[in-house]
A and B are shown apart, each in its own frame.
Chain A
Amino acid sequence: MDAEELFEKFSPMVYNLALRLSGNKSDAQDIAQDAFLKAVRGLANLRVHSTAGTWLYRITMNVWKNRVRSEKRRSFWKTFSLDWGRDGDDEAPALQIQAPDDPVDAAIEKREEKEALEKALAQLDPEDRVMLVLREIDGRSYAEIAGITDKPLGTVKSGISRAREALRQKMSGLVQDNGS
């Protein structure tokens, strides 16, 4: 597998993992780029291509963790310059909530659903979000998710359960309308 194949196959998941970990698109792009660059450098050592996804997702998680530590370290310095911080980072766009008396159509309903999901996701723990992505989007088993996130199996089970329950409660209006 070459670099381009690796990117074509895994960039959607890597980017979205990075997005759900960082919570914003600017950091997500940086994390995804770093993860791929590290992966490309180590591609020659990848012996079993079927494990490329797991390996790449782990790299993504580690890149994110390093960034978190880096931010904590920079916060260490803020005593004398309280306004000093990251510059140029993009903020997540503000949610656009429609007025309730606007006409509702399928596109608007879909957007409302997405916005409600994003708002609810933003309140979850980043690692719980990532476990949900790996489960729902990539179809990973709990054991595989435990390997990628370097967490015990019990933690994965409780993390996914917690994340889904939190989403269920935060999106109760949408969920109860559609649920059984």
Chain B
Amino acid sequence: MDHNLCRDNLSAYLDGELPQQERAQLETHLAGCPECRAVLGQLGTVSGIFKKHAMEPVPLSLKGEVLGGRAKPAPYPWFKPVLALSAVAAGVFVVLNLSRSPEQVPLMQMSRNNAFESLQKGLSSASGRLSKNAGPEDAGSSAAGLYAESDKKAQAQPSPAAAATRGAYGQAKYARTRGFGGSSLAGGAGSGMSGVASMPSAPARARLAAYAVDSLAGLQVRDGTILRVTGTAGDCVDRMLSGSGEAGPPGGCHLNGRERTVVLDNFDANPYRGSEITVEGAAKYCSEEGRRFLCALENVSLIYPAPPNK
């Protein structure tokens, strides 16, 4: 065994992890190499120092915390919205809000059940455009009306560079894949969507967060999985506050108007409130935290109807 190979194997030799043949070769080398013998001795000393000092005592409070079953503070204590509108944000943050039986498909579509219900309810009513003061109950108004309104608005709004827009086809694809009965939803053959050519552009950068209400066990979301989240935009916030009132990351509009659903960031106009919004992007840095599953979202696309007329 040559000198460098010996040096590479000294630690494994110390641990008794070398196969017999390699051990014999190394021992032959050691017999004739004082340098390697010295290093082996020093590695043994390191091992001894480590065994002597590396273990720290367990904090007394840990036992109480584990066996007492105390609840941990929320990982996001700053999540207390104030009523104002957000500025442009650079990244996108998504926490999945799961339905009870999520489909495990490469294109993941997550929707709050009540968001879907309100959309269905709205679509089943007479078609029409969103009024200026549309509230959440109108969020599900006819997709035909919404998209037609969007079409008009698109001409007035600048197109941001970084975000793509989706039209009727996007919604139809969503509806069919999710098994909602596509024809009753936006984009289906019978929905009156066929004439819509374009959607309003999304802001250049957007951020989105949604909180899962159920465990993600069994749901295979990993970096790169395309996520799509839909819901009704609720109250908009300017900046999240910590429990002590310290300003945190920029805020946004809550989907479904509840803190534990989806926060849409970077919507700089209150008119989004009450609108049905879908956001799609690629998951990044996903991890499970308690009952929540959180991801950042890259390359976000926004699919939404235009805000109601002011």
Contacts and interface: CB of A to CB of B under 8 A. Distances in A.
B54 interface: yes
B39 to A, nearest CB: 7
Interface of A: 3-4, 7, 11-12, 15-16, 19-20, 25, 29-30, 32-34, 36-37, 40, 65-67, 69-70, 72-73, 76-81, 84, 87, 110, 113-114, 117-118, 121, 132-133, 135-137, 141-142, 157-158, 160-161, 164-165, 167-168, 171, 174-176, 178-180
B90 A70 contact: no
B218 to A, nearest CB: 15
Contacts of B294: 70, 73
B4 interface: no
Nearest to A129: B54
Nearest 7 pairs between A and B by C-beta? A180-B41, A66-B287, A161-B11, A179-B42, A79-B90, A69-B287, A73-B285
Contacts, number: 167
A179 B41 CA distance: 5
B49 interface: yes
Interface of B: 8-12, 14-15, 17, 37-59, 61-63, 65-67, 69, 72, 75, 87, 89-91, 93, 207, 242, 246-250, 284-289, 294-296
A111 B74 CA distance: 37
10 contacts: A3-B67, A32-B62, A67-B287, A70-B294, A113-B49, A113-B52, A136-B50, A137-B51, A157-B17, A179-B38
A163 to B, nearest CB: 8
Contact of A179 (B17, B45, B57, B295): B45
A70 B207 contact: no
A160 B59 contact: no
Contact of A165 (B11, B67, B87, B286): B11
A178 B69 CA distance: 46
Interface of A is mostly: helix
B42 A176 contact: yes
B10 to A, nearest CB: 7
A11 B55 contact: no
B295 A33 contact: no
Contacts of A7: 63, 66-67
B86 to A, nearest CB: 10
A132 to B, nearest CB: 7
